[in-house]
């Protein structure tokens, strides 16, 4: 058996652990805020320099936070292969869920039916 006389109590250990973790997160958060403010300052400087230049006439890609999709919105249909799923209806009125998987006990799907519903 080992001697634990030099150990600190569990509550004190976790208290110190959480305090150190919180301090590290605070320091990291402070550094990120500092970097973010520097980038904001740089953006504002660039915007003030470019006020005299003409604005682009093309449509913006984003408007008020909503993305504008310039492509035609054609409906996309999933290619479903119904032959891989059993088409039988169980006694309770729900469809059978066998779908040709190795881990399922229904066996292979033949003519739209599993081994149980053939």
Domain count, the chain: 2
Residue 102 lies in a domain: yes
Look up the domain containing 27 and give its range.
Answer: 8-52
| Residue 76 maps to a domain | no
Q: Are the CB atoms for 66 and 96 separated by under 8 Å?
A: no
In a domain, 90, yes or no: yes
φ, ψ for residue 113, nearest 5 deg: -130, 145
Is 99 a member of any domain?
yes
The answer to whether the predicted template modeling score (pTM) of the entire model surpasses 0.85 is no
Residue 62 maps to a domain: no
How many angstroms separate the CA atoms of 45 and 84, rounded? 61
Whether 97 has a pLDDT exceeding 70, the answer reads: yes
Position 76 scores a pLDDT of: 56
Q: How confident is the model at residue 19 (pLDDT cuts 50, 70, 90)?
A: confident
Q: What is the mean pLDDT of the chain?
A: 76
User: Which of 59-68, 89-98, 103-112 has the lowest average pLDDT?
Assistant: 59-68
User: What integer pLDDT is reported at residue 87 of this predicted model?
Assistant: 86
Burial zone of 109 (CB within 10 Å; 0-12 exposed, 13-18 middle, 19+ buried): buried
Residue 41's Cβ-side half-sphere holds a number of Cα atoms within 13 Å equal to 6
The answer as to whether 68 is a domain residue is no
pLDDT at 37: 92
pLDDT per position as a tens digit, 32-47? 999 999 999 998 888 8
Domain-located, residue 59: no
Note the helical H segments in the chain.
Answer: 10-49
In contact, 116 and 104? CB cutoff 8 Å: no
Whether 3 is in a domain gets the answer no
């Amino acid at each position: 058996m080992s001697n634990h006389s030099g150990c600190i109590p569990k509550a004190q250990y976790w208290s110190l652990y959480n305090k150190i973790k919180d301090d590290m997160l605070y320091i990291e958060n402070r550094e990120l805020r500092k970097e973010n403010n520097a980038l904001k300052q740089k953006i504002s400087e660039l915007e003030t320099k470019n006020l005299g230049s003409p604005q682009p006439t093309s449509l913006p890609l984003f408007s008020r936070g909503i993305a504008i999709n310039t492509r035609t919105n054609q409906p996309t249909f999933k290619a479903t292969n119904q032959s891989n799923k059993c088409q039988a209806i169980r006694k309770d009125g729900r469809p059978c869920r066998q779908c040709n998987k190795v881990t399922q006990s229904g066996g292979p799907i033949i003519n739209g039916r599993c081994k149980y519903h053939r």
